[in-house]
Structure formats: C-alpha cells, structure tokens
Structure 1
C-alpha cells in the first residue's frame, strides 16, 4: 500500500511538473512573440480605425441620414477599445526601455497575451462594420420643409386669407379648412406661405405640403406623403396597407396637412390622413367650392381678387425700372386694370411689359391687351387655356347661362333672382315651367358657375358678377358661335350717346346697351333673330319710336329698367314671344299700352317704381302671367269719382290670372285708391291656386284676416310671404340687410296696439318679424312663445311701451332658440333685453345684436345671458345713455374665460356712462377681430392683456381716448398700439 501510495504521488508530481513546464514554456512563447503581436495589434487597430473613418465620412456625405442606434453602439465600443489599445501601446513602449531580466518574462508574456486577445476583439469589431449592412438610417423628417413661396408683403388680400386660416388653426373645433377660388387667384401662394409660416410651424409637430395629382390618384398622393414622412413603401401596391403605415406614423403627432390643387373630392381617410385626436388640421385648396364641401371642410375661405392697390404694387415689382419711364405710369395703371386683380395674369402681363423700354411700346401693348384674347399676347395663352377648360367642362344649358352673364358690364352687380328669370325666359332651363322649380334649378346652375369661379359672389348680398378677364373670354366664345351672337356695348357709366348702326343689329341674338346715355333708338331695325334686348339705365332715353319693335317677333327678354321712357310704342304688340318685360324704376311711365292682348307668352311683368298709382286693367288680359310685381305710387288721379270708377274697373284684374305664381304689390302709404280696392283684391288673391310667393300690403288686420281665412295655400311649407300690416314709409325689410342668405317668410306690423290672434297666427309661420311703432305690450313674449320661437330675425323699432324684449317668467322653455339677428331701435322705456328666469337654450343661435337709442337701457348681458351666447359674432351698442357695463360684473361672478367664443366685432358709440366692457382681462376673446369705440369718454380700460384676444386686428377710436386709457399689464399698450386706428365716421 505504501508503495502504491508512493507510486501515485510520483505520478501526480510528474504531471504537475509537466504542467509547470508547459506553462513556463507558453510564457516564454508569449514573451518571445511580443514584438510580432504588437505589430499585429497595430495592423488590426489601424484597419479598424480606418473603417471607422470611412463610416463617419459615409454618414457625413448623406445629410438625409443619421447613425442608427446599433451604429452608435459600435462607435462607442470602438472608442472604448481605442483607449485600451493606447494603454497596451504605452505599456509596450515602456517595456522596451527595460533590461532583459527573468522577472520581466512574466510581464512581457502577459502583455503579449493581452495583445493577442485584443487583436481578436479588434478583428471582431472590424467584421461587425461590414459594408453590406447599413450603418446609418434616415434622419426623421424635418418638422417643416421650407418651400420659399412667393412673397406676399404687397398683397393684403392674401395676408387676410392667411390670417383667417391661422385663426381657424387655433380653433380646436375646426378640423378642415377649404381655400377656394378661380385659377390664378393665389391659392397656391397662400398654402406655400402657410407652410413657411414660422408661427404655424411652432403649432405642429410636422407640416406636410403636397400637391394632389391631376387624376386625383390616391396611390400617387400616398407616394408623395410617404416620401415626406420618409416611409419606404416602394413596390407596395396595397393602398390600404400604405394608408395604415401613413396613419400609424402620424398617430402620435400633431400634424398640419396642406393639400394643394384638389380638382376632385378625395377620401383622405383612404389616403391615410385620419383624425388622430391630437388637434391635427387639414387645409386644402381647390378651384371649386363644391370640392371643399364634398370633403367636409368646417370653414370655407373664398380667395378674392387683389385690390387695385395690391395689384399695382405687384405689377410695379414685377415690371421693374421700366415702369419709371416718363409718361408710363398712367398707361401702366390702365394695364393693371385689364388684369382684373388676378395675380397669375398680372405676373404674365408684367413679364411681357418688362421688355418695353419706351412709351410707344407701352401704348401699343395696352391696345393689344384691350383686344385680348382676340389678339395673341405672349405668355397669356396659358391663362386663357385654363379659363376655357372650365367652360368646356359645362353642359350646354349651363354654358348658355354663363355666356348670358357677359351681356352685363364687367364687374357689374347682377341681381340673382333677375338673372335666373332671364335664364328661364330665354329657355336655358329646358322644359321647366313652374317658377319655383326654375328658381331651384337656376340656383343649382349658379352654384356650379360660382364653384368653378366663372361667376363670383358680389360684396352685395344676393348679387353676382363676372370679372373682366372671364367676360372677355365669354365674349370671344360667343363671337365664334353659329347659334348665338352678341352685340354688347354695355359701358357701365361711360356712356354711348348714339345707338349702334342699323346694320350692326342684323344677325344678332342678344343685344346689351346697358348703362349708356342714349337719347334715341333707330326708327326701324332688321333683327328677326333677336332674343334679348337690354336697355336698362339709359336715363336719357325718353322716347322709343313707334315702329321700333316691329321686326323683333322672337324677342323674349326686354329690359327697360331705369330708363326715362314715358310710354311704350304701339309696336310692342308685335312681341308675341316676349316672356319677360322689365319696366321697373321707369318713374315717368304713367300708364301701360292700351292693348296688350297680343303678348300671349308674357310670364314676367315688373312695373314697380313707375308712376302708376292704380292696378291697370290691361294686366288682366295677360293670361299666361306667372310673375307680377307692381308698386302703387302716391295718388294723383284727380277727383274721388274718377278714382272710384278706376277702382270698379280694377277689381277683377287679379282673378283672371289663374297661372300667377309670384305676386308683389307694394303701396305708398299716401295712396288713397288702394284703401278702396284692397279688400276686393285680397279676396281675389286668396282664390289663386298656383300662388307660391306673395308680397302684399294689408292696411289693417281685418284685411290680413280675409286672406289667412280664405287662402288654403299660405301655410304650405313651400309658400313664401312678405306681409306688411299697416303702412310704413319704406317697403324694404331692414332686418334682411343683416342676413347673408334669403329669408322667405316675413311679417311687418306697423302702428299696431296690443296683441291680436291673427298676428300671432301669422307670426308663428314667419322667420322674420318687424314690430314698428307698436303700443300696449311690455315684451314680445306677449304674442305667445309658440308664435315667436321660430323667428330667425327680429327688429323692434319705436315701440314706446316695451320694457324688456323677452320675459322669461312667461315660459318654462328656451326662448328664441332659433333667433339669429336682433335689432332694437328707439325704445324709450327699454330696461333690459332679457328679464325673469333664463332657460337653457335661449338665444343659443344669436349671431348679431344691434341696439340703438335706448336711453333707459341698463343691462345688455344680465345674469346668465352671456353664457348662452355661444354663437354671437357681432355686438353693436349706440346712444344708450345709462349703460355702464356691457357684461355686468356682479351678475356674472365666476364667468367662464371662454364665453362669447365667436364674437368677432364689438362696436360701442355714444355711451357716455360706459366704464367697463368686462371687469378685467380674464376672458379669452378667442375670435375677436375688431373693436370700435367712439364717444365713450368714461371707458378708460379695455379687457385685454398681453395674452388674450390673440386674433384682434384693429381697435378704432379717438386719439384723446386712446391716450387716456389705463393698462393692467406692462407691455399691453405696446402690443395694441400697432393695431390702433383713428376712428372716422
């Protein structure tokens, strides 16, 4: 056993000895290979660091990319290992200085071994940086990609449009804004400036500007958006998948999407632009209003043409120094006038005139421009081509309606109802017979023309116009037609003194000589094909030759509005196809032709504003008449016996007009003849079975009662009326001036007293109510809440007993929940607008409140009222001597800061005791744009600070008042001084 143990020990000792020898040998080997390993270390490290430099250069070359996280981690590892390599190099360099000794063998060996390990790590890092793999990724899309759009410093109209969009972008309730207008008006400029706007850029995480493709292809649009967002979707044919990726990328972002040149409605949800709940917005620009409507925009902005001043500034800038040549400026201004305020056209014309370096070339250029598009002008064919594109896209009937607009002077306000009647009379609406249907179809056509900007809405409500450039194109198109030829010399006040020569009348279908200074017309003209003759506003035209109309058997529209004629010639009987005859405002016309029986197709007769003081019996012979408008002037017919005879003759005039659809009878309050026939005429009117619209003067409630109890039509939903009970100096409804759309059911009650059930019955069907010089009621609530709660407009004037407009004690429900416009004038005892309890929903739709001359009025926004007025946009208060506060502080404690969220305009005039609009600057006034203060000397503080009323554009007032104002915060005066303007009455 001892031997065995000894033998085992010997074996173990032998093994240990061999391991020790092997270990020492390796140490010696590592020590011997130190120089070689150091050389390898240098090679491996140099190669790795060279790779690092190559990668850095690669990233620097592509500015659209940044290092990936993986790449950044690799660079960090290289940096760490670089420090370790430096340590090894320093250690090696120090060791070389030492003398060789055995005790250093181990340290040399360890150093060499560490170098070997380091070489392996260096090689591994070098392999990780292989070229085949991406070492960088794309940078995230920049928040705003600047377009550097055209400057708009000299274009105030575009500035206003941008400011309006900016205001909507701040409104959390607005998701989509539609900017629309004709080709070349500046829509793209607006969107590009919105894209570049620094303030807007701060409002969003990302701003995306994209032009829609001409074919509105969703895939093309998605491709453009994906490039902007740097989403790699190339080769992906699944539009739904791409839409999901776009929406996913935008999911957490507050984005602004600017979509330009939208020609047809687009489903943005299918594109990938979806409401992500982060107050993201879409602004789209289109030539067509209907596209904006189809895409469900919340706010519409119609881009108007440049003002004369803006157009001139732009033209000067584009033309350059040649505009300063002697004598050129007057010509240049006429050139600008030919461009009709269209930025694109101004640009093209300016490029053409930029080369003209003497006055002769300028004069020749102006002559050519005035003959355009008949004369080609370099650079302008593009404009004409695009305008012609809109026309070519219309159907034949709509094309005729459009061309008809060229009969009126450029930028002439055309009354919409009149234009639609002319279209119907000319047969442009096909087989439409009924006027109510014709007006519906006409408004659709009108909307189509406005949508494509071939017609424009006028600044005057219910009027449209055609600008110079569009009109020139229309006249050129008509000149090329084989079927419809125009002779147009409508001068808009410039004044032709002589009519066209006789041979010029031949072969034409439409003639317009509007607004001239014609004294006479030819004795005889040959124009068998004439369909329209417009002679309105020739005030000096007093006589029409007897045989003038003899060759005009096909004439359908004859307009003599505002001419000086005293009578119509006997040849009027030749107009057997005449459909519409306008004699309104011919104040010297005292009677109609004795025989009008031959006018068998006459449907429209307008004789308002003539010298007629009675109902002419000749009207009863016009059996096809569908629309009759007449006003009875002050009686001057002689004896009472003569008037009585005329009354008897006229009593049955209306009853024979069985096709009558629209009837207007306005009466001068001094017309004595009407009082004798009104009951009989009322009974006749009540028997008309096709009547759809009636404007009528009832001298008393008894007459009104005859109609409402006899007529079976007036309560029909399609029946419209304007009833005036009692006489008033004006036949116009003043409250209608405040509406931007048509109101069809109106009741005016003048010089009445107390409450009558017939008035309450009619009032229950009315949209507008004017109560004038009424006595015996303290509030309009006394007419009954059921009678007044449908009202959309209300005028109270000269009512001496009214103390409050609404008395909440008379009802347990909301009051005037449909009311939009309210005007109160000359109410000497009025103390408050609303008295008693206020129920939720009262005045919830009120947008305009105007108060004039109410000397005892103490409260406008009394307790709780102001919280209800979420839709109020305009407040005007004038000549109310006792008003001290607009919003009474003690009655509105704890008022929400966001109240009156839509108030845009505040006008305060002649309020001597007014000292406060609101007690401090705690209200936000988020939509307020303008404040006017005049003769309010006690008002020394405004409710504005440095941060509220952010959309305020102007404050108008007197200089002395402005200097006297006190400010709660430093810096507020400086902020508001920039928008202060001196008040001018």
Structure 2
C-alpha cells in the first residue's frame, strides 16, 4: 500500500501545481494519525516502549512539514497563467525544489507509517517465564507428581489442583518444574506464576497478574475495572494460573480478579501448607505431598553431594547424614551443600554428622534456617490448646507411629480438651484438633492404619520450643539404651518425661517431681520392680504408661496419684494382680489387656469415674461356669463407663457363660457408647441385644465378633483409612439367623468367615445389607454368587466401598440378574482371590455402575479367561471404569485378555501388576489411551508372552516395565 502511495505521488508531482501530490501526502499523514490513535488506545492498558515515544515525536514534527507544504502549494496555485509563462528560471528552480521536498516528505511519511505498529507497545507477555530450577527427572518422586498433575490438567473436568504438605517437602520445586515442563507450553497460551505469600492480599494479587499480562494499570484504582481488563486480555486464551504458597487467611475469590475459571478455559494449580486451603479453593484434586522415601532421599543426597559420597570411608557416614535430613528435599539440599565442601575427609564428615545429630543443642546452619521457617508455622497455630497438643506429640520417639486413640486419651487426661465431659465428645474434639494439625502439615498420617507420626525435623523444632517454655519442659530420652534413670535435677525440672523403649533396670526411690503430669515408661522389659515410694511426690501426675514393662506388682505409692486420669498396664505379662488403686478416684482410662492376673480384678469396680476400660478375659484362668461369680456386680458399678473392650481367645469355648454374664451387666450401662466384644455364640449376642437399649443408637459404635474362630482381628478394617464405627464378624455359623440380619442393618463393615447354609450374601436380606461399606467373605464353601438381582426392583449395595472375597471355591459370579442404577456406585476396591470356579467378574450391566472403582485385584482364579468379558459387555463405552488406578492380575493361567481391544480410555490407570499370566498376549493400550500409566510390574515370562501392535507402543510400555521377582 505504501509503494502504491509513492507511485501515485510521483505521478502527481509531475503536474504543474503538485496539488495531487500534496493530497497523497495529506492522506498518508491522516493514516499515520489513525495508526497513532490505535496504538494510544492499546497504550491505555499496556506499557509503551521508548521507541514509541520517539515515533510520536517524529509524527508531531511531520505535522509541521505537511503544513509547510500546504503553504507552498497555496502560493503556487495563486499565480496567474501569465506569471507562470513568464516565470524566471529562479522561480522554476523553486518549483522543482518544492516538488522534490514533497517527494522527500512523502517518503518520510511512508517510512513513518511503516514503522508505526503495535510492537511499539511493550511486547506480548511470554507464554511461559522459565524458573531456573534443577530438572525433576533426576528425582523420581518429584517427576512422578509433575506427571500426575499433567494428567489432571489434561482432564477437561479438572479445573483446580492443590498441592499441600509441610514446609520443605518440595512443593515449590514441583511447581517450578511443572512451570518449566515442555508440555505446559503446548497446553496453554500463557502461564502466570504468583507467589501468593509475597503479595499478601487480593488487590496485590490482582496487580501481580496484571503485571504478568503487561497491562498498564497506572492510575486505575477500581478493582472491578482492573478485573475487566484482565478478563478482556485473557478472552479466548488458555491460561494456567500457578499460585505458590497460599496462606490460610487469604480469601482467594478468582472471579473478583477477572479469572473466573468456571466460565473460561483457565486452570489453577496451587501450593499450600494447609489442607483446608485446598477445600476453601474448591480444588478438584487435592494432592498431599509427602516427604521423600528413604531411598529417594538417599538418591537426592548423593546427587547433591557428588562423587565423594561413593568413597568407601564416606558412604556409611553419608547415609547417616542423609537420614538426619528427615527426607525433606529442602533440608537435603542445604545439608548436602555443606557436606559437599568436606571433600573426602572421613574426619570432617564424622564431625559434621556429630554436629547435625546434636542439634538443637548446637547450631547447624542448614537446620537453623529451616527451623526458623517452621517455627513460623507453629506460631501460625491460632489456639494455645492446639499448640500444646502439637508440642505433646513430640514426647514420643522419633519417627514413631502414634496410635490416634491413645494420643487423644493423653490429650484429654492432660486437660488439653476442655468442655467435654463425655468421652465421645472429647474424642470428637480431639479428632478436630488432630485434623487441623495434619491439615497444617505439623503432623502426618502414618502408613499404619489409625496412626499418625511427626516428622523428625518438626519434632526437633517442638523439643526446642518446649525447652524454652516455663511450663512445657519435656525430658525425652526414648530408644537410647538407658539402663539408669535421669538424675534428680532432670526429674525436678521436667513437666513431662518420656523414657520409652529403653533398658531401664531401676528407678529412683522418690524423685521430687510435683510438676510432672506425664510419665511414659513403656517398653522397658528389664524394669521388674518399681520402688514402693516412687510415686510419692507425683501428686499432679495425669498420664502413666507402664505397658510392656517387666513389673510383677504395683507399688503402694500408687495410691498417691489422686490426679491420675489414664493408666496403661497392657502387655505387662508378669503383673499378677491389680492393687493399690484406692486413691485413683479420678481415673478415667484403664488398659489391662494381656496381663497375667490370677483372678478377675474386682478392684476395677471401685473406679467409679472410669470412662474407658480395655481388658482381657483370657488372663484369669477361668475355665468353668462356676467362676462366673468373679465377674458379677463389677461392671454394673461403672455407671459412667462409655467405652469397653473385652478381648478373649476366640477358640476357647469355656468362656460362653462368663461372656453371657458380663454382657447382661454391660447391657444395663446407660452411658456406654462403644463396645468391642466376642460373643461365642449367636445366643450370647441375642441375649445382649435383647437387654440393651443403646446398641441401635446412632452414637453407639461396636465391634461384635460372633462364633469361634482363629483371630479377633478385623481384616476388612485394614482397608479403611478412617475408622469404621460398626463392625460385625460372623465366623463358622450356619444359616441366616434373624438376629444377625437385625445387627447387619446397623453395620458398616461385615466379615463372613467359614459360613454355611447360605449360597449368596443377599440371603441375609437386601434391605439388611444396604448400609454396609466394607465386606469380607472368606472360606465360605457354599457361596455361589454375592447378589442375586432377579426380582429386585431397586439399587443394591449402594454404600459398599470395599469388597474382599477370598477362598470361596464355589463362587461363579459376583452378580446374577439385572443391575439397577446406583448399585455398587461407591465401590472403590474389589479383591478376588482363590475363587476356583469364577469365570466372569463383571456381569451384564454391572461395569457401567462402577464409576468409582479404583483398585481391582484378581488372584488365583484358574477359570477366568477375560477380565472384562466381551459377551457380557457388548457396546461398552470408552469411558468405562473412569477412576480405576490399579489393576493386579496374579496366577491366572487361562486369562487371555483384559479387554478385547484398545477402545477403552483408561484415564486414571497408573499401575498394573501381572504375574504368572502366560496366556495374556496383549494389553489393551495404544499411544492415545492410558496417558497416566506409570508402571507395569510383570515377571519375565508374562512380559515375554505379550505381542505388540507396533514398535511405538512397545517402546513406551517397555520404558515403564518393572520386572517382578
């Protein structure tokens, strides 16, 4: 267009007056003005460059040049023809100069117009601003989480993802590597990173996002106007918002800042120390970032330190150094940098390890920096009681798995849980505190069910804080091999003492420790005798744990403990009698399981404040029904009792009369809210049920075991991370007794062991099993199917979450007949083991209901040929089993396929285990499906039997194959 203008101008310049040439120049100038206005409009919300300022200056100057041309042109037009014919050579020369000037001006204008583009406004923001962090591919743990997040981001139904975990665990590193991942740049038009803890409030967050988008908000104070500009800028763009370190007190409503991810293609990934932030932010996928495994921590430490760590004199010390880092990436990074400078000198390494182990008694740079940050997390606790509960948790050994109920009992006994006279209410409050500490990443769930643990570094921090406290001084010496007790000064100064798991042989005669409120002496098997006056100066003691010690009797000074609330004597296998309890008028918790009392401890009948009692009947040598009198009128005195657990040998048939007598008294207790007991027969259960008015109460929890069997352990409970409140085990029974069906109606988890006289679970009544969440069927030789749906007109087992079927030789199917919508809709785990006749797993229509199934395990089922049978699942939709994460196939000699082809999406599948499946020749995967598959564990024979559709899929799956033994 510019060249056309120049040509037009040159043609016009040939005319005498050059008027047309001037019009071209004027037109060019007007175009420049339009271009200027467009750029200025952009500049309202964008920052302009110095080049733009210079361009504007040239535009203003060109205006003067055009105006000067207009004046000269007007002078030429006013000349008469005669003047024109008679003009002198000098005038002719002036006219030529004018035309030349017009040409030059027009060329300048064309050049000016060509340079007037939107690049004169600051360039568009980069798609991704790279964070300079080490790649995660060297750290399998981080890499795996990044891959998981990428999988969630590909899911159109996932809008928000939250990473939460304690400080130093690597959340920011994960986020930085996510930001840098090459797939992110392909998935999004722009990635916005904001460290939220630095911007403090919503207004500053909004401005940080505007700055990233290179929007000029100078002079604009209206938050809604800024939100509109952000919204306009992101219109039609795929955006990923990365919010690092979101604090709990920030009300983060994205719609207020112009980024409503519900309406636009905007996705959010955030990190936080607080789990509840993930809920407040309505994340679709909260991910708990745990510390590294010990193996991963060691690998990371080796990489950080370098080749010196492989030196034969260094490596043993280096492993101990790495262990001191508590599997925290941040601490590993800091400590490794310090030890890297120690070179190959074992002496320097050994000295450094000694310093590290002696923290906090001496300073250590790497830990001190982290602890200062972690202490901020402690100060962030909004309640002094919660702070006390946190500090108290440090009294247990390093990396110890703490049983939750025990911890809550100690908290209550110490007086941390106030305004809760009822034990059930106190437990609920304790669970709330515990959950908050976990959500703040100050405690963490253990792999062991119903247990928590405290990270080593956090424990050191808690001990350091308590050492500076006036009224929370903790003396902690567990697992130190102590043979002698602490000295007099240590006893006198401490508020709480923990000498767990040592080799103590003796204790001081009468330590002066009136301020002592907790004394933990458990697991000291060499401690046989406690001095008679030992407890004489412990009037304020509230928690005493002696379990697992070698004591044979209790000292007379026990009666001085009139403030004692919790006493643990369980597993004191040499303790033969329960005495000296006269002064324990406030005792609320007593555990005397697995002691060796010669007689039934009738003394417990005098502990009228007792709220929680755990005991074993098998200790007392009662063999005949005549000894039932020992038990009479003991439990009926404990009118405040809320929780009762009675263990006995489930194989010993001599306990029937005793249990019946006890259960009749227990049935009269009006405050009982929890009962765990083994009823030798259904008649014993019936006797209790008929006499108790509480067992159907919604607050009442129970573990009822009925029948003689090998173990009191409830296997189904191991499948649940959270506590099941009502559990029934029926062992070696026969038929369907109405009282069992009545109890089933109230039951959350059901174990059916060695039962006869029933061919299906539904024989117990479809309506009766509608509430069960967990079910184990084991050794039932007559069970042929789980549910017979024929004649049923509604959904069945809609609450069932876990089903385990083991050693059921006649089982041919899980479901027969129609499967109504809603049936099995919450099932997450299905395990089938040693079912010799089972040929089909998913009956017609059943698989469509399993939208929540996450884990499928099939083992020792010799007749199964297809995991998903084609004849039962014609027209199976690609989105079947959308949440299946793990598939385990073991010892299935006839299985030929998982599914007939690769038409299913497998969107959530992460891991497959294949063992002894030699007939399985093809996996149902291609390069498009199973995008989240991370691992295939298979033995060499099963792997070698697989045939591949093409080299690409073979190579991909080969890269994630892990050979099992």
Q: TM-score range by the shorter chain?
A: 0.7 to 0.9
**Whole-Å separation in 2 of the counterparts to 1:920 and 1:64:** 58
Alignment of 1:443-842 (within 5 A): 443-491=431-479, 495-593=481-579, 595-612=580-597, 615-633=600-618, 636-637=621-622, 643-672=624-653, 674-842=655-823
Aligned mates of 1:657, 1:478 — CA distance in 2: 38
User: What residue number does 1:922 align with?
Assistant: 903
1:6 maps to none
Aligned match of 1:212 in 196, 210, 213? 196
Rate the CA distance shift 1:132–1:923 in 2: closer, same or farther, 3 A: closer
CA contact (8 A) 2:501 2:521 kept: yes
CA distance in 2, matches of 1:205, 1:615: 75
Whole-Å separation in 2 of the counterparts to 1:204 and 1:764: 52
| Alpha-carbon RMSD | 3.4
Cα deviation 1:491-526 (Å, max 9, x = unaligned): 2xx522333234432232211111112233334323
Question: Please, which of 118, 127, 135 is the counterpart of residue 151 of structure 1?
Answer: 135
Alignment of 1:244-259 (within 5 A): 244-259=228-243
Q: Measure, in 2, the Cα distance between the counterparts of 1:533 and 1:284.
A: 43
- How far apart are 1:764 and its partner, in Å? 0.8
Supply the distance in 2 between the matched residues of 1:31 and 1:829 (Cα, whole angstroms).
Answer: 109
TM-score (norm 1): 0.85
User: Cα–Cα, structure 1 residues 325 and 699, in superposed 2: closer, same or farther, change >3 Å?
Assistant: closer
Alpha-carbon deviations, 1:924-948, whole Å to 9, x = none? 1111111111112221221122222
Please state if 1:427 is matched with 2:438: no
Separation in 2 of the partners of 1:554 and 1:439?
23
CA distance in 2, matches of 1:457, 1:926: 28
Q: Are 2:373 and 1:386 aligned? A: yes
**Native 8 Å contact 2:625 2:658 kept in 1:** no
Residue 931 of structure 1, aligned match among 895, 912, 920: 912
Deviations 1:348-372 (A, max 9, x none): 3334334445444433333322222
Q: How far is the alpha carbon of 1:275 from its aligned partner?
A: 2.0
Superposition pairs of residues 404-423 of structure 1, within 5 angstroms: 404-423=392-411
Change beyond 3 A, Cα 1:656–1:126: same
Name the counterpart of 2:71.
Answer: none
Gaps of at least 5 residues in structure 1 are 1-26, 79-104
* Residue pair 1:590, 1:611 contacting (<8 A) in 2 also: yes
Given candidates 189, 198, 219, the residue that maps to 2:182 is: 198
Judging changes above 3 Å, is the alpha-carbon distance between structure 1 residues 969 and 605 closer, same or farther for their aligned structure 2 residues? same
Asked if structure 2 preserves the Cα contact closer than 8 Å seen for 1:405 and 1:466, the reply is yes
The 1-side partners of 2:286 and 2:897 are apart by 35
| In 2: Cα distance, 1:215 partner to 1:123 partner | 51
Unaligned runs of 5+ in 2: 1-10, 63-88
Alpha-carbon distance in structure 1 between the residues aligned to 2:926 and 2:17:
82
Superposition map of 1:225-240 within 5 A: 225-240=209-224
Q: Which shifted more, 421-430 or 140-149?
A: 140-149
CA distance in 2, matches of 1:862, 1:794: 19
Question: Is the 2:199–2:205 Cα contact (8 Å) retained in structure 1?
Answer: no
Q: TM-score, normalised by structure 2?
A: 0.87
1:375 alignment partner, SS class: coil
1:12 paired residue number:
none
Greater CA drift, 305-314 or 660-669? 305-314
**Matched residue SS, 1:788:** coil
Q: Does the C-alpha gap of structure 1 residues 963 and 238 become closer, same or farther in structure 2, counting only changes over 3 Å? A: same
Superposed CA offset, 1:821-879 (max 9, x none): 00011111111000011111111110000011110111101211111111100000111
Count of aligned pairs: 899
Is the CA contact 2:809–2:837 (under 8 Å) kept in the aligned structure 1? yes
| Counterpart contact for 2:948–2:954, Cα < 8 Å | yes
**Cα distance, 1:134 vs. partner?**
7.5
Q: Could you say which residue in structure 1 is the equivalent of 2:207?
A: 223
* Residues 1:810 and 1:578: Cα distance change in structure 2 (over 3 Å): farther
Alpha-carbon deviation of 1:616? Answer: 2.1
Q: Deviations over 1:256-276 (max 9, x none)?
A: 111001113422222222125
Looking at structure 2, the residues matched to 172 and 567 of structure 1 have their Cα atoms a distance apart, in angstroms, of 67
Equivalent-residue separation in structure 2 for 1:213 and 1:692 (angstroms)? 45
Structure 2 Cα separation of the partners of residues 946 and 325 of structure 1: 44
Q: 1:858 is matched with which residue?
A: 839
Name which of 299, 306, 310 aligns with 2:296: 310
Task: Name the CA distance, whole Å, in 2 between partners of 1:31 and 1:578.
Answer: 116
CA distance in 1, matches of 2:647, 2:418: 32
Q: Does structure 2 conserve the Cα–Cα contact (< 8 Å) formed by 1:499 and 1:521?
A: yes
Cα distance in 1 between the residues matched to 2:357 and 2:705: 50
Range with greater deviation from structure 2 (552-561 or 789-798)? 552-561
Structure 1, residues 402-444: CA drift from partner, whole Å, max 9, x if none? 1111111111111111101000001111342211111111112
8 Å contact from structure 1 (residues 158, 303) kept in 2? no
Contact 2:516-2:541 at 8 Å conserved across structures: yes
Question: What secondary structure sits across from 1:809 in the alignment?
Answer: coil
The structure that has the greater radius of gyration is: 1
Question: Per-residue displacement from partner, 1:738-781 (whole Å, max 9, x unpaired)?
Answer: 11111101111112222222111111111111111111112111
Q: Say whether residues 1:873 and 2:854 are aligned partners.
A: yes
Q: Does 1:439 align with 2:420?
A: no
> Could you say if the C-alpha distance between residues 445 and 135 of structure 1 is closer, same or farther in structure 2, counting changes exceeding 3 Å?
closer
Instruction: Answer yes or no: is the 8 Å Cα contact 2:920–2:945 preserved in 1.
Output: no
Tell me whether 1:274 sits opposite 2:260 in the alignment: yes
**8 Å Cα contact 1:651-1:677 kept in structure 2:** no
Change in CA separation of 1:798 and 1:379 when aligned onto 2, cut-off 3 Å: closer
SS of alignment partner, residue 506 of structure 1: helix
Per the alignment, residue 883 of structure 2 pairs with: 902
